Structure formats: structure tokens, C-alpha cells
Structure 1
Amino acid sequence: MIETVKVFKKFTWYHVPNMTSDDREELVITHHLTSEMIGYAVDNNEAVRMEYDNSADESLMVIDVISYHDEAVETRPVGILFAHGNLYTFSHDVTDYIQAVLLDPQNRQKRHDDTEISAVDFVMTGLYSLMTRYVEQVTEINRKRRIIQAQFGQQKRTTKQMNELLRLQTQMIYIQNSLANNHVMLDVFKKDFQKTLLTFEIEHIDDVRVEVGQAEHMANLALTVINSISDAYGNLSNRDLNWTMKVLTVYSIVLTVPTIVSGFYGENVKWLPFADAISGWWVTIVITVLLMAAVSLLLAINGFFRK
């Protein structure tokens, strides 16, 4: 359904959540939008970029925003289309919250009166709030990472902890990539529209770019730390595996001694010491124990029991 969210003096804002075929037809016939631009705007896998159709007077901004799921936080593109003097926003279920954010952005920028604000400035004040959500998510991921990191030193590492760390690592990759693409797109947007925008509108674009840059720096640092912890975990796991293999090797060597001793006495070889004695069985046990102790001592001296 195409929602007429708000009518400003300079433009009208239309919001299209989960666009249907009827919505597409209405946008093409009634609003005179091009089908190509609409397709780019609603593509859930569209790359972050600016797309222009000068002949149709359409400029499309595709930007990544945080998408919230039950188990994870990822990023998804939303389409923001400036066409024929009006503003069109396109979203899906996981990104439909952008309508509320654009209507009431919680940021430090001073909003102009509805009779004066332009479509570009309106979008930028909303994007500021949308970009601050990246900082919030990076901060939350860092909090979860610190909990996992603290557990490594207090208890035995588990597969659950490693899986959780891997999940955080995956989320950070999504966030880092989206922030980098958003930064480039905003640079392109400022360059393309710099001659037609007012000074305060350019300043608002710069504010959003600074916020994205800050979030990008935080994301890069957070991902570096998570990767370092993952590498450290892998090294510790390899060390534990090496220690386990070393212990098994030592035991296999030590337990070879009873096999050798019993093998000799089991072959009925003549002239073996104590082979014909009544207490020969106990003697072989003593010999076995002494040889096992000697082998263990030799291995200990050579450092095989050091972790």
C-alpha cells in the first residue's frame, strides 16, 4: 500500500512498505515513476549506490540500515527516491521502522519548520538517526564480546562460546561492509548535489558522514578485536589438542612395556630369568612396573609431560 505520510510545503512524502504489483502499477501510472527505478528501490539485495535518470527527473539513493531479527542483527538496503519534487521511501518488514525514524529523528540536528524543509534535508536528518543505530549495535556487540572474553579465563572453553563469537563476527562483517558502502555513497551524493544544495543542507550531509565515519571506525576496531580473540581461541584449542596428542603418545609408549615383557615370557623362551620360578608371575609384574617407571622418568626428563 502506498502511504501518503506527510504533505510538506515543498514536497510530499510517500512511503511504500512491502510493495505489491498493484503498488508498482499505481506508481508507474499515477506517480509517473519509471519501472527501472522502482525495481532498484525495492530489490532486497541491491548494492548501496546512487542511481540517476535525468530524463525522468529521478534520483535514487540506496542505503543500508540495520535490520532486526530474532536471533541476529544484520543490514538491509532501503530505497529513497527523489522524483518530480516529491520523496518516496521503500522498505520491507525488517526495515519498515524507518518511517517512524524519519518522522521523528532523535539527533542533534536542528530541524527546520515543515514549511521550509526540503526533501534532501528531511532525509538527512532522518539518516542521522538511522546511522546512530550502527553505533548502538557495535556497542552491544562489544558488550557481548567482553562477556565471552571474560568466560575464557574463568571456565573451560566450550563450543557454544565459539559459536557465539562466530555469530558476532558475522554480524560485524555485515555492519562493517554496510558502513563502508554508506560512507562512499554519501560522498557521491554530496559531490553530485553540492551545487544545488544550500549551505546548511551540506552541513547536515557532513554530519551524517561524520556519524558514519565514527561508526565505521568503531566497527573496524571491534572486528579486529573479535578476530584477535578468535585467533587466540584457535591457538589455545590447538595447544590443547597438541597436549592431548602428546599425552596419548606418552601413554601408548608406557603401555607398550607390559606387552613386550609379557610377549617374551609368553613365548616359553628358555633361560629367561625367573621363567621357571613359582613366583615368576609376580616377578614379571615387578619387572614391568620398574620398566614402565623408567620409561616414564625418561620421558619426564625430556619434557614430554610439560604442557
Structure 2
Amino acid sequence: MIETVKKFNHFTWYHISNLTPEDNQTLVAEHQLTHEMIGYAVDHNEAVRMEYDTAAQEALMVIDVISYHNELVETRPIGILFAHGDLYTFSHTVTDYVQAVFLAPQNRQERAADTAISAIDFVMTGLYSLMTRYVEQITDINRRRRVIQSQLGHQKRTTKQMNELLRLQTQMIYIQNSLANNQVMLDTFKHDYQDTLANFEIEHVDDVRVEIGQAEHMANLAMAVIDSVSDAYGNLSNRDLEWTMKVLTVYSIVLTIPTIVSGFYGENVKWLPFANTQDSWWISIVITLVLMGVVSLLLALSGFFRK
């Protein structure tokens, strides 16, 4: 769907959500956009980068933003196209919230009036708010990690906790990769447009870069802590496994004694102690229990029961 969101003095902003073939034809025929740029802008798997078509007067910015679906936070690319003096933003269902963010960015940047603002400055003030969402998600991931970490050593470790840690690690990988790519892309954007941007526009670009840098630093620290907690859970699980194997080994040793004793008496070997007495059955049980107790005591003194 193509929506004319707002007309400013210096440009018109069009937002395209879930592009259809009919929308694609409209953009090409009425807006003179190229198929190539449209394809890059709506590709779910497009890499974060700047793409230029000088002949068509088009400059495409592909940048990753937070996407929300099924309680799993990931990142997805959106396309921001500067073409023929106008602005085009491309999103999908999970990233369609960016339109509301661009319209009312809640950040510290001072946006110029609609009569004076440029398309680039409008985008940068919106991107600042989008990048702050990375910080919010990293903070939320840290909160969930602390819940799991608080249970370390106090509760029995479960598969659910390990799966939750794995899920947090996966989300952090998405976030780290996206932040690193966004930083490189904005560095490229600043380098390419530095000669044409006003000072306050450069400041806004730098504000977004700083916000990304801070989020990237937080993400790296959060990932390091999650990895440490995951390793700790793994070490404790290995220790529990070792303890289980030691206990099973002790049981297997102790339980061989009844087999040995009953085997001797079961073969009717002549001259076995108490073999011919009336209470030999109970005596063999007593011998078995005594031997099992002696072996258990020796294993305990050797440290086999120490966890």
C-alpha cells in the first residue's frame, strides 16, 4: 500500500507497506522509481548499505530496525529512498511501526519546522528514536538474563532455563550484527553527504551514530555476561552429570557383591562356610550385606561420595 503521509515544503513523504505488484507498477509509472531500487528496498534479506543510482537521481538507505513478532525480538531491514526530491520509506508488517516513529520521534533532537526541514534531517531525527529501541531491547534482555542468573545455584537447572539463555544469545547476535552494520552504513552516509549537509544535519547524523555506538557497547557487554552465565550453567550441568556417573559407578560396584556371593552358594561348592546349615540362606544374606557395607565404606573413605 502506498500512502502519502505528509507534504513538507521541501519534499513529500510516501510510505509503502507490504508492497504489492500493483504498487510496484505505480511507483515505476507515476513516481519514476527504478525496479532495481524498489527491489532492494523491499527485500527481507537485503544487507545494510547505501545504494546510489546517479542517473535516476536515487539514493537508497537500507538500515536494520527492531522487529516484533511472536514474542521474539529480531531485526529486519527497512528501505529509505531519497528520489527526485521526495522521501520514500518501505516496510513490512513487523516493521510498519516505523511510520509512527518518524511522525512523532520521542528524542532529544530538536527537529526543524515542517516549513524548513529537509528530507535527510527528517530521517535522522526519526532514526534516532528507532536506534534507541535497541537500547530498550538490550535492557529487557539483561532483565531476563538476571532472572535466570538469580536462580543459579538456588534451583535445579532445567532445560527451559537453558533454552531461554540460548534464545537470549540468538537475539543478541541479531542485535550486535545489526548495530555494527548500521554504524558502518551511517559512516558511509556521512562521508558521502558531508559536503552537502548543513552543520545541524551533520550533528543529527552524529547523534544517531553515537546512539548506535552506545547500544553496540551495551550489546557487547550484555552478550559477554550471557555467555558467562551460559558457561556457568554448562559447567554446573557437567558437574551434576559427573556426580550422577560416580553414583551409578558406586551402585554398580556395590550391587555386584550379591551376584558374587549368590553365585558361589548357587554352585553348591563343597566346604563353603555355613553351606550345610539350616540357616545358610539367612547367613548368605548377612555375608552379602556385610561385604556391601565394607565396600561402601571403602568407597566413601576414598571420596567417591563427595560431590
- Shorter-chain TM-score bucket reads over 0.9
Distance in 2 of aligned mates of 1:281 and 1:43: 82
Structure 1: runs of 5+ lacking an equivalent: none
TM normalised by structure 2 equals 0.99
CA deviations on 1:175-226 (whole Å, 9 max, x unpaired) are 1111111011011100111111111101100000000000011111111111
Q: Aligned residue for 1:122?
A: 122
Amino acid at match of 1:16: I
User: What CA deviation, in whole Å up to 9, does each residue of 1:53-84 have, x standing for no partner?
Assistant: 11111100000000111221111000000011
Specify the alignment match of 2:166 in structure 1: 166
SS, match of residue 195 in structure 1: coil
Instruction: Please list, as runs of the form range in 1=range in 2, the aligned pairs for 1:1-307 lying within 5 A after superposition.
Output: 1-307=1-307
Pairwise CA distance, 1:228: 1.0
Counterpart of 2:60, as a letter, is: L
Q: 5+ residue gaps in structure 2?
A: none
In 2, distance between residues paired with 1:15 and 1:205?
22
Which amino acid counterpart does residue 288 of structure 1 have in structure 2? T
Q: How far off its partner does 1:293 sit?
A: 1.0
RMSD, aligned α-carbons: 0.8
Task: State how far apart, in whole Å, the 2-side matches of 1:135 and 1:259 are.
Answer: 65
Measured in 1, the distance between the counterparts of 2:151 and 2:239 equals 18
Bigger mean CA deviation after superposition, 162-171 or 103-112: 162-171
CA distance in 2: counterparts of 1:70 and 1:268, whole angstroms = 71
Partner Cα separation in structure 1 for residue 259 and residue 22 of structure 2: 83
Q: Distance in 1 between matches of 2:22 and 2:231?
A: 51
Q: What SS is found at the alignment partner of 1:152?
A: coil
Greater shift, 32-41 or 164-173, is seen at 164-173
What is the deviation of 1:281?
Answer: 1.4
- Whichever residue aligns with residue 290 of structure 1, its letter is V
Over residues 87-119 of structure 1, what are the superposed CA-to-partner deviations in whole Å (9 max), with x where a residue is unaligned? Answer: 000000110110110011000011111111111
Give how far 1:33 is off: 0.6
Give the secondary structure class of the aligned counterpart of 1:111.
Answer: coil
Which AA in structure 2 matches 1:64?
D
Off by >2 Å, runs of 4+ in structure 1: none
Instruction: Describe the SS at the equivalent of 2:76.
Output: strand
- Distance, in Å, in 2 between the alignment partners of 1:297 and 1:161 is 37
What is the CA-CA distance between 1:173 and the residue it aligns to? 0.9
Distance 2:133 2:73 in 1: 11
Structure 1 distance, partners of 2:114, 2:71, is: 39
Which residue identity does 1:29 align to in structure 2?
A
CA separation in 2, counterparts of 1:55 and 1:199?
27
Instruction: Report the residue type matching 1:172 in the other structure.
Output: M
